[in-house]
């Protein structure tokens, strides 16, 4: 007889490899659920299901971090309410209808998927700030920390993640004009911070960013070390310092 423990271990291995085993895995860490989309959002829901940016992000998070309480990512039609983290429910709402705007800006499904990965990491950053009880001085400070977490996770992925980070920065740049004020930094500043971290982490792969990022903040080594320190209680295994990689 196959024990539950063996089944779970197998499932964990599969989950790490392909994010394909949610049903059998215990309620633990980051989980993903799809709701039926509204008719107008069907293409965007299909993009998420085929390109699997959320599955990829959650597999990387769960392989890296052992989050004791479940955080559920619910892909759903939000009727313009906007993607966000709900601390009361420990739930990230990932809105199909947000993808429509990104499609218009980027005009390319692969780019939309890349931006969605960054979005999932950003919201996961909020969930981790909540789970770890990390102090944040203001709403803006929390948003900046969540952006830095998204960059940190994408940079950890290597060249593929770095490309997604550039795409996300491009999307912020394109969306910059005419945006209302909210708790986030202005889109142009968010783009600049992403590119600053990217060049700081991997200058050899992004030499074209040298001029644009001269004297920029935040500093990659500081961000890498701060997030690594803050995540310490949840890390599955310790990694050697990678500042200045
Ligand atoms: Zn946010």
Paired residues of 84 in beta bridges: 93
Tell me the backbone φ, ψ of residue 242, rounded to 5 degrees: -120, 15
The Å distance, Cα 31 to ligand 1 centre, comes to 19
Angle between helices 109-132 and 42-51 (to 10 degrees): 80
pLDDT at position 79, please? 92
- 50: which 2 tokens? 């085929």
Structural domain spans, the chain: 18-234
- 53: which 2 tokens? 């940016």
The Å distance, Cα 140 to ligand 1 centre, comes to 9
Contacts (Cβ under 8 Å, ≥6 apart) of 181:
none
The Å distance, Cα 186 to ligand 1 centre, comes to 13
**Spatial separation of the C-alpha atoms in residues 52 and 19, rounded to whole Å:** 9
The Å distance, Cα 124 to ligand 1 centre, comes to 9
The Å distance, Cα 8 to ligand 1 centre, comes to 33
pLDDT tens, position by position, for the chain (245 residues)? 334 444 444 444 444 444 444 444 557 899 999 999 999 999 999 999 999 999 999 999 999 999 999 999 999 999 989 999 999 999 999 999 999 989 999 999 999 999 999 999 999 999 999 999 999 999 999 999 999 999 999 999 999 999 999 999 999 999 876 555 688 899 999 999 999 999 999 999 999 999 999 999 999 999 999 999 999 999 997 555 554 44
């Amino acid at each position: 007889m196959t024990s539950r423990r063996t089944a779970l271990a197998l499932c964990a291995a599969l989950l790490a490899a392909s994010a394909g085993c949610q049903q059998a895995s215990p309620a633990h860490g980051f989980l993903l659920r799809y709701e039926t989309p509204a008719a107008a959002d069907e293409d965007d829901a299909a993009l998420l299901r085929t390109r699997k940016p959320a599955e990829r992000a959650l597999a990387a998070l769960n392989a890296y971090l052992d989050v004791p309480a479940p955080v559920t990512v619910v892909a759903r039609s939000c009727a313009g309410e906007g993607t966000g983290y709900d601390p009361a429910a420990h739930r990230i709402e990932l809105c199909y209808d947000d993808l429509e705007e990104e499609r218009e800006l980027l005009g390319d499904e692969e780019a939309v998927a890349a931006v969605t990965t960054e979005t999932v990491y950003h919201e996961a950053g909020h969930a981790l700030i909540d789970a770890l009880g990390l102090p944040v001085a203001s709403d803006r400070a929390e948003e900046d920390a969540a952006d830095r977490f998204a960059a940190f996770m994408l940079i950890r992925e290597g060249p593929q993640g770095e490309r997604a980070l550039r795409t996300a920065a491009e999307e912020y740049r394109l969306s910059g004009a005419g945006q209302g004020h909210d708790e986030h930094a202005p889109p142009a500043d968010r783009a600049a911070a992403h590119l600053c971290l990217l060049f700081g982490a991997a200058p050899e792969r992004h030499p074209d960013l040298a001029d644009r990022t001269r004297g920029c903040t935040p500093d990659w080594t500081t961000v890498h070390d701060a997030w690594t320190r803050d995540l310490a209680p949840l890390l599955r295994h310790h990694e050697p310092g990678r500042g200045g990689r």
